[in-house]
Amino acid sequence: MRFQNTCPEGQIDGAGHALEDGAMSEVTSTTPRRSSRVFHRIRIQAQGRSHDRKKFKETCETVVVNAHGGLLVMKHEVDNGEMLVLTNPMTQEELECRVVYLGDVAEKGQRVGIEFLTPAPRFWGVEFSDEPSANDVH
Q: What is the pLDDT of residue 64?
A: 94
If one counts the domains in the chain, the total is 1
Which of these, 84, 75, 77, 87, lies nearest to 43 by C-alpha position?
87
Average pLDDT along the chain:
79
Give the integer Cα–Cα distance in Å for 28 and 52: 33
Tell me the CATH number at 25. 2.40.10.220
Q: Which residue has the higher pLDDT, 36 or 18?
A: 36
What per-residue confidence (pLDDT) applies to 126? 82
Question: Residues near 19 by Cβ (< 8 Å), separated by ≥ 6?
Answer: 25
pLDDT digits 0-9 by tens, 90-129: 999 999 999 999 999 899 999 999 999 999 989 998 877 7
Q: What is the pLDDT of residues 38-61, one digit of tens each?
A: 888 999 999 999 989 999 999 999
Residue 134 maps to a domain: no
CB 38 within 8 A of CB 30: no
**Does residue 137 sit within a domain?**
no
Residue 41 belongs to some domain of the structure: yes
pLDDT category of residue 130 using cuts at 50, 70 and 90: low
pTM for the whole structure = 0.70
In terms of phi and psi (left: phi > 0; alpha: psi -120 to 50; beta: otherwise), the region of 56 is beta
Question: What DSSP designation does 105 have?
Answer: E
> 133 lies in a domain?
no
Structural domain boundaries, residue 120: 2-128
- Strands (E) in 36-124, as ranges, are 37-39, 43-49, 55-66, 69-74, 83-88, 93-106, 109-116
135 in a structural domain: no
Among 61, 56, 57, 69, CA closest to 44: 61
How crowded is the C-beta side of 13, counted as CA atoms within 13 Å?
A: 21
Helix, strand, coil percent values for the chain (each to nearest 5): 0, 50, 50
- Does the pLDDT value for residue 137 go beyond 50? no
- Phi then psi for residue 93, to 5 deg, are -70, 135
